[in-house]
């Protein structure tokens, strides 16, 4: 049973990956347009800004104002990727170094707390409910469940069957719902950097930083 | 002549009796507007809601409809229903919805009536989604079925039919220039001072916002004075002088392209080297950045803001300024289309620091500035006027906090909105263009 589930996880990872590739390909199939206007800034610098300084709370007001949510988001994602990595190592019976393991305990348990917090925020605030579809709740619950089972499996008591089952469900769901943003995030951020970089808006010279 | 009220009534009836064919037209145009960038953005939103209080509408009225993520979700749900394999299969799960009458009504109210396309949400979006870009695409789809709110559509129509958005005739325009030229001669004490029209082979072709000719002629003479002092070779066009382009706001690319193309034709006819755009935020964004895309044309000439030109004059010593001549404290409002979306950020600061004794920055400023509420075609859509004034409260507070007596802004739409805010929120300030301030500081 465990072996079958193990193969199931690997297959679901491939399923997810290929479907995400399909979605990206489909996105490109809508066609891109070469821009005619003369640039006044630098596209590449804009993209570098988008993935660097532009993500920092001192540059991004929304992050600065909502440090708790912003921080929770970062911890949440770090925890999820840690759990994915541990699952991958587990599939190939590789043991993570103990230091890395300790680090992952912190990431994954904090991520679980943050995930529950984010779910509560989405459920309790009217404004958040207004922008949410069932997919938002399901995505969050699936990820939280996966994190919970991973924490139990890796740090409390081995429960391979629930872990692999949760993994399969999660990986199968990734391309279907909003979790696909983990793929599209990079594309959108590149577009963001290109747009503002090309127009000479970003990166702003440090001398012009705001009060 | 049909009154605005009657136009609004007819429009409302049209929305309510929308036929299936019209719905299909909107649907088809929406599909045409989707390309890879749009599709990527529409797949990216994680509904984190962090964008909410970057929007001046939400900050002044916490209705969910004012959240940028909500506005975007109206577009996303239609996209998912039509283009997303899982949205088609599991609409309830993913929130996918077809474009129907109910959605179209909400699109009109929210996408036209609760957004100035200022782009502040974009720079605050965790993912970097260009929300105004998508909202404009949806506006364009509505435009294809004639569903642009009447005030905004009238402004576009007037520009298309009469050559400028205020319907100023050539005779009136030339007459205005004539008397402004007489005044300029008197002011500078030189009979050679001129506001040239249709002067071929001039280096610069200068454009204005037609509101300047109608209501703010002093800003035209101010630029005339600066050009005269800098000994510039420049001209107006007698025919195509309008820098504005409300097609940017209605989402109608065809009309927008047509309006911008006229300026290019005039530039070629007059054999000018550079197209210089007056102090107009959306006019700059339209003609500098968007028009080459609407027209699918690579320009072989430069398009610049008048601020870039004045900056060069000061740098090269072509005009001399005395800041003591402008002693009152001055603050600067950054027009979204010029600054956040246009990249003209530091020129105006340099110019003001050389022209006034006491320059105070608003906080936040530059690309992080708050929209005044006058963009997005809001000034033309009377049906949303109350919301516009309410949304301007944030800008009013910013102005009050600076303690400035003068608010300088390089945009006539912003000027109109700020003048209304000045009155409504009793700010007791004077609103001026940058050129007017520079002209007063010339020695």
Between chains, do A62 and B125 touch, taking CB under 8 Å as contact? Answer: yes
Cα(B77)–Cα(B59) distance, rounded to whole angstroms? Answer: 25
Between chains, do A135 and B365 touch, taking CB under 8 Å as contact? Answer: no
**Residues of B with Cβ-Cβ distance to A135 under 8 angstroms:** 93-95
Between chains, do B47 and A132 touch, taking CB under 8 Å as contact? Answer: yes
Last residue of a domain, one of B315, B338, B358: B315
Query: B164 and B102: one domain?
Result: no
State what percent of residues in chain B have pLDDT above 70: 100
Joined together, the tokens standing for residue B394 give: 């944030």
**Residues of A with Cβ-Cβ distance to B364 under 8 angstroms:** 61, 210
Between chains, do B293 and A35 touch, taking CB under 8 Å as contact? Answer: yes
Judge whether A136 is closer than 8 Å to chain B, CB to CB.
yes
Query: B141 and B167: one domain?
Result: no
Give the predicted TM-score (pTM) of the model.
0.94
**Domain residue extents for chain A:** 2-6+61-175
Go through B25-60 and write b for each residue having 16 or more CB atoms within 10 A of its CB, e for each that does not. bbbebbeebbbbbbbbbbbbbbbbbbbbbbbbbbbb
Is B153 part of a structural domain of the chain?
no
Indicate whether B17 pLDDT > 90: no
Query: B275 and B393: one domain?
Result: no
pLDDT-derived band at B244, boundaries 50, 70, 90: very high
Query: B226 and B289: one domain?
Result: yes
Minimal CA separation from A151 to chain B, in Å: 25
The DSSP code sequence of B237-297 is -SS--B---THHHH--HHHHHHHHHHHHHHHHHTT-SEEEE-S-HHHHIIIIIIHHHHTT-
Stated as kind and residue range, the H or E segment containing B1 is: none
Judge whether A123 is closer than 8 Å to chain B, CB to CB.
no
* A98-124 vs A134-155: helix crossing angle, rounded to 10: 150
Residue A192: which of B50, B73, B128 has the nearest Cβ?
B128
pLDDT in tens, B214-240: 999 999 999 999 999 999 999 999 999
**Residues of A with Cβ-Cβ distance to B40 under 8 angstroms:** 27, 184, 187-188, 191
Judge whether A138 is closer than 8 Å to chain B, CB to CB.
yes
Lowest-confidence segment of B6-10, B139-143, B273-277, B348-352 by average pLDDT: B6-10
Quick count: other Cβ atoms within 10 Å of Cβ A169?
14
Query: B143 and B288: one domain?
Result: no
pLDDT in tens, A124-153: 999 999 999 999 999 999 999 999 999 999
DSSP B236: B
**Residues of A with Cβ-Cβ distance to B49 under 8 angstroms:** 125, 127-128, 131
Compare all CA atoms of chain A with the CA of B360 and give the residue at the minimum distance: A211
Cα(B28)–Cα(A124) distance, rounded to whole angstroms? Answer: 38
The CATH number that applies at residue B168 is 3.40.50
**Residues of A with Cβ-Cβ distance to B341 under 8 angstroms:** 199, 201
* Mean pLDDT, all residues of chain B: 96
Is B232 part of a structural domain of the chain?
yes
Cα(B282)–Cα(B57) distance, rounded to whole angstroms? Answer: 19
Compare all CA atoms of chain B with the CA of A183 and give the residue at the minimum distance: B44
Number of domains in chain B: 3
Query: B93 and B239: one domain?
Result: no
pLDDT-derived band at B1, boundaries 50, 70, 90: low
Query: B251 and B334: one domain?
Result: no
Query: B304 and B199: one domain?
Result: yes
pLDDT in tens, A33-48: 889 999 999 999 999 9
Query: B137 and B188: one domain?
Result: no
Residue A33: which of B35, B70, B343 has the nearest Cβ?
B35
CA of B4: how far to CAs of A28, B43, B120, B155, in Å? 43, 39, 31, 12
Which domain, by its residues, includes B392? 323-441
**Residues of B with Cβ-Cβ distance to A125 under 8 angstroms:** 49
pLDDT-derived band at A207, boundaries 50, 70, 90: low
Cα(A119)–Cα(B160) distance, rounded to whole angstroms? Answer: 51
10 Å CB burial of residue B327 (0-12, 13-18, 19+) is exposed
Residue B47: which of A70, A178, A195 has the nearest Cβ?
A178
Last residue of a domain, one of B126, B147, B168: B147
Last residue of a domain, one of B270, B285, B315: B315
> Chains A, B: CB contacts under 8 A, how many?
179
Between chains, do B35 and A196 touch, taking CB under 8 Å as contact? Answer: no
pLDDT of amino acid A206: 58
List all residues 6 or more positions away from A201 whose beta carbon is below 8 Å from its beta carbon.
Answer: A41, A46, B339, B340, B341, B342, B343, B345, B367
Q: Which of A15, A174, A201 best probes binding to B when mutated, by most B CB atoms within 10 angstroms? A: A201
Query: B190 and B76: one domain?
Result: no
Question: Phi then psi for B114, rounded to 5 degrees?
Answer: -135, 25
Tell me if B170 sits within 8 A of B238, measured CB to CB.
yes
Is B155 part of a structural domain of the chain?
no
Is B310 part of a structural domain of the chain?
yes
Between chains, do A191 and B130 touch, taking CB under 8 Å as contact? Answer: yes
Tell me if B405 sits within 8 A of B328, measured CB to CB.
yes
Nearest to A178 by CA among A127, A138, A130, A147: A138
Cα(B78)–Cα(B96) distance, rounded to whole angstroms? Answer: 6
CA of B11: how far to CAs of A137, B110, B403, in Å? 39, 16, 43
Residue B34: which of A30, A185, A192 has the nearest Cβ?
A30
Judge whether A50 is closer than 8 Å to chain B, CB to CB.
yes
Indicate whether A210 pLDDT > 50: no
ipTM: 0.95
Indicate whether A209 pLDDT > 50: no
pLDDT in tens, A49-62: 999 999 999 999 99
Query: B138 and B29: one domain?
Result: yes
Query: B330 and B259: one domain?
Result: no
Q: What is the mean pLDDT of residues A182-208?
A: 89
pLDDT of amino acid A74: 94
């Amino acid at each position: 049973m465990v072996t079958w589930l193990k193969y199931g996880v690997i297959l679901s990872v491939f399923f997810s990956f290929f479907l995400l590739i399909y979605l990206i390909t489909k996105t490109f199939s809508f066609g891109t347009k070469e821009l005619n206007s003369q640039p006044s800034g630098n596209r590449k610098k804009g993209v570098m800004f988008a993935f660097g300084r532009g993500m920092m709370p001192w540059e991004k007001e929304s992050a600065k104002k909502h440090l708790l949510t912003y921080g929770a988001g970062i911890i949440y994602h770090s925890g999820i990727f840690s759990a994915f990595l541990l699952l991958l190592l587990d599939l190939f019976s590789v043991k993570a170094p103990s230091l890395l393991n300790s680090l992952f305990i912190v990431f994954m348990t904090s991520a679980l707390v943050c995930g529950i917090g984010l779910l509560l925020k989405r459920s309790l605030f009217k404004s958040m409910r207004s922008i949410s579809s069932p997919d938002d709740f399901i995505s969050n619950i699936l990820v939280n469940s996966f994190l919970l089972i991973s924490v139990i499996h890796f740090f409390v008591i081995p429960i391979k069957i629930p872990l692999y089952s949760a993994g399969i469900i999660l990986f199968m769901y990734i391309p279907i719902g909003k979790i696909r943003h983990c793929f599209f995030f990079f594309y959108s951020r590149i577009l963001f950097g290109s747009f503002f970089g090309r127009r000479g808006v970003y990166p702003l010279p440090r001398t012009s930083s705001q009060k | 002549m049909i009154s605005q009220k009657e136009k609004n009534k007819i429009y409302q009836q049209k929305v309510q009796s929308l036929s299936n064919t019209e719905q299909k037209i909107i649907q088809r145009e929406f599909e045409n507007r989707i390309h890879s960038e749009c599709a990527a953005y529409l797949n990216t939103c994680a509904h984190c809601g962090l964008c909410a209080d970057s929007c001046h509408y939400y900050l002044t009225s916490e209705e969910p409809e004012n959240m940028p993520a909500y506005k975007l979700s109206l577009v996303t749900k239609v996209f998912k229903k039509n283009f997303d394999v899982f949205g088609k299969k599991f609409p309830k799960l993913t929130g996918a919805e077809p474009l129907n009458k109910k959605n179209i009504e909400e699109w009109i109210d929210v996408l036209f009536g609760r957004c100035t396309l200022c782009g502040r949400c974009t720079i605050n979006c965790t993912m970097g989604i260009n929300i105004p870009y998508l909202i404009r695409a949806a506006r364009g789809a509505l435009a294809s079925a004639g569903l642009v709110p009447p005030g905004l559509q009238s402004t576009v129509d007037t520009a298309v039919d009469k050559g400028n958005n205020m319907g100023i005739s050539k005779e009136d325009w030339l007459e205005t220039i004539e008397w402004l030229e007489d005044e300029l001669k008197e002011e500078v004490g030189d009979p050679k001072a001129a506001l040239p029209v249709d002067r071929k082979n001039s280096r610069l072709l200068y454009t204005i916002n037609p509101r300047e000719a109608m209501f703010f002629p002093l800003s035209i003479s101010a630029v005339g004075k600066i050009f005269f002092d800098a000994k510039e070779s420049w001209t107006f066009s007698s025919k195509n002088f309008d820098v504005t382009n409300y097609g940017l706001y209605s989402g109608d690319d065809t009309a927008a392209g047509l309006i911008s193309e006229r300026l290019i034709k005039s530039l070629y006819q007059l054999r000018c080297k550079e197209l210089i755009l007056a102090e107009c935020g959306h006019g700059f964004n339209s003609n500098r950045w968007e028009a080459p895309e609407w027209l699918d044309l690579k320009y072989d000439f430069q398009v610049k803001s008048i601020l870039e030109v004045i900056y060069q004059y000061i740098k090269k010593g072509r005009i001399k300024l005395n800041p003591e001549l402008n002693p009152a404290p001055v603050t600067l409002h950054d027009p979204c289309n010029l600054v956040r979306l246009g990249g003209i950020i530091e020129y105006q600061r340099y110019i003001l620091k050389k022209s006034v004794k006491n320059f105070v920055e608003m906080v936040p400023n530059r690309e992080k500035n708050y929209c005044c509420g006058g963009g997005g075609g809001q000034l033309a859509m009377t049906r949303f006027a109350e919301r516009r004034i309410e949304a301007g409260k944030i800008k009013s507070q910013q102005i009050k906090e600076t303690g400035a007596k003068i608010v300088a802004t390089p945009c006539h739409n912003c000027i109109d909105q700020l003048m209304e805010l000045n009155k409504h929120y009793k700010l007791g300030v004077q609103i001026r263009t940058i050129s007017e301030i520079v002209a007063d500081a010339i020695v």
